[in-house]
Amino acid sequence: MLLNITVENFRSIKEPITLDMEAMGQVSELKDNLVAKSRYKLLKSAVIYGANGSGKSNVLKALAFVINFVRHSINSQEDELINGITPFMLSVGNESKPSFFELEFLIDETKYRYGFEVSQKKINAEWLFSLPKSKRKDIELFTREEQNIEVHKNNFKEGLKLEDKVRTNSLFVSVCAQFNGEISKKVMSFFNRIDLLSGDSNIIDRNFTPNYIKDLDNYQTVISALQQVDFGIENIIEEQPFATKLPNNIPADFPDALKEQMKSAKMLMTERKRFNSEGVEVGTAKFLFDDAESAGTKKYFYLFGRIQYTLEKGNVLCIDELEASLHPKLTLNIIRMFHDKDINKSGAQLIFTTHDTNLLSSGVFRRDQIYFTEKNNRAETDLYSLAEFKFEDNSTVRKDANYEKNYLKGRYGAIPFLGDLEFMKLFADKGE
């Protein structure tokens, strides 16, 4: 499980910010939103609000970069530039500084702290520490300053004699895992259990759920979920819709090879009930799923397999703009699945960005689960939780406050400044 991630000097983030998934002791509400692991109480979800352009997505992009780099840096070629690194560019001299990333996470009963500093050309630093449940102080496994790697000979034996096998643009932990290091493989397995998705229904992953429901039990789970929210879908099946006859409107010069591919292609089809004029059911009709269904139906289906898999495995799922194309009740249902102790039995976590303020008034989040991004007058992104927020008189937000109303009024910051909307009058004047 993820404990926290800290990011510095990445895209709109200049100073260090931390998304903390460890529950704050002073927050007492909604204890079902927590899961106890080892000595820690962790949040099952976190939501990030903020104005457009405030840096919400950059928090998730930072996590996406870390995951991708840990997984694939081992494949980089000598002197190849490191893709995805963009330092904060709006401060003179800052563009030459490395970006900083550090994560703390639990594997079994042990907490690990892993991080690195990196520029487009090289890894400037890298480190790994562990904290078993029986200990009170971090145990150093290895530290790295550019190509100078110090391996603790007792705590990280798997790293010995591998120091010279690391390129300037590859991570030491990835190299150790490639050589079957026990600890490093555990660390790699954690990063393989984090998934990041875009909430845009046009680019959401369309392969996972169709493959997931090839298992009969998974199919029944997903179909039941679709029927529960009343999409009117009886079945989803994979068929060859053009196996017998291709559409009549195919151009005469359409290549024969492509025609053969179409005949053999399998596509998702939905089955819906048909009724006669008296409203009596008389069978079913089939439709091409991607052609006939709404954007919201398609997104919920393509997303649901990933959600179910995350809950089963106890993984971490991050979604940018979760609410896009979804009815507010569907979004709320997804969140409640993660909070429900009978559904989320494996400690899965959900982290997402949204503009859906209805969620703030639903009583579904603790104050330490609600995060905001806001840019200061130097265009730097700040990240803070509702539990940390303090008013001018130094008072904190009460658990019975109207979060949605106060947020929309600007009491917590993190909303766009629109002035008195004079720009609307200017456009109105131009139309006269």
Spell out the domain ranges in the chain.
2-193+314-408, 208-300
Q: Which residue has better confidence, 96 or 421? A: 96
pTM reported for the whole predicted model:
0.90
Q: Which residue has better confidence, 60 or 234? A: 60
Using the predicted structure, report yes or no on whether residue 426 has a pLDDT greater than 60. Answer: no
The CA-CA-CA angle for residues 300, 304, 307, to 5°, reads: 135
Contact criterion met (CB below 8 Å) for 1 and 190: no
CA distances from 172 to 70, 86, 190, 193, 253 (A): 9, 22, 16, 20, 55
Using the predicted structure, report yes or no on whether residue 210 has a pLDDT greater than 60. Answer: yes
Side chain identity, residue 130: S
Contact criterion met (CB below 8 Å) for 118 and 112: no
Using the predicted structure, report yes or no on whether residue 431 has a pLDDT greater than 90. Answer: no
CA distance 102 to 117: 9
Side chain identity, residue 165: K
3-class secondary-structure state, position 404? helix
Using the predicted structure, report yes or no on whether residue 152 has a pLDDT greater than 90. Answer: yes
Using the predicted structure, report yes or no on whether residue 85 has a pLDDT greater than 60. Answer: yes
**Which contacts of 222-227 are long-range, i.e. CB under 8 A and separated by 24 or more positions?**
222/301, 222/304, 222/305, 222/308, 225/304, 225/308, 226/297, 226/300, 226/301, 226/304
3-class secondary-structure state, position 124? strand
pLDDT at 349: 98
Q: Which residue has better confidence, 255 or 382? A: 382
pLDDT interval class at 202 (50, 70, 90): low
CA distance 262 to 260: 5
Structure tokens at 117: 């500093």
CA distance 304 to 99: 34
pLDDT interval class at 262 (50, 70, 90): low
pLDDT at 245: 65
Query: What percent of the chain has a predicted confidence (pLDDT) above 70?
Result: 92
Contact criterion met (CB below 8 Å) for 212 and 305: yes
Q: Which of 22, 17, 16 is nearest to 4 (CA)?
A: 22
Give the mean pLDDT of 99-119: 97
CATH of 2-193+314-408 among 3.90.1720, 3.40.50, 2.30.29, 3.10.50: 3.40.50
Give the mean pLDDT of 234-263: 73
Structure tokens at 174: 């990835």
pLDDT at 264: 65
Using the predicted structure, report yes or no on whether residue 89 has a pLDDT greater than 60. Answer: yes
Cα atoms found within 13 Å of the Cα of residue 253, Cβ hemisphere only:
0
CA distance 385 to 404: 14
Using the predicted structure, report yes or no on whether residue 233 has a pLDDT greater than 60. Answer: yes
* Least confident range of 86-95, 244-253, 284-293: 244-253
Using the predicted structure, report yes or no on whether residue 432 has a pLDDT greater than 90. Answer: no
Query: What percent of the chain has a predicted confidence (pLDDT) above 90?
Result: 74
Give the mean pLDDT of 332-352: 96
Q: Which of 80, 89, 143, 82 is nearest to 118 (CA)?
A: 82
3-class secondary-structure state, position 34? strand
Q: Which residue has better confidence, 367 or 228? A: 367
pLDDT at 249: 74
pLDDT interval class at 429 (50, 70, 90): low
The CA-CA-CA angle for residues 284, 285, 290, to 5°, reads: 135
CA distance 291 to 268: 10
pLDDT at 350: 98
Q: Which of 396, 282, 350, 409 is nearest to 27 (CA)?
A: 396
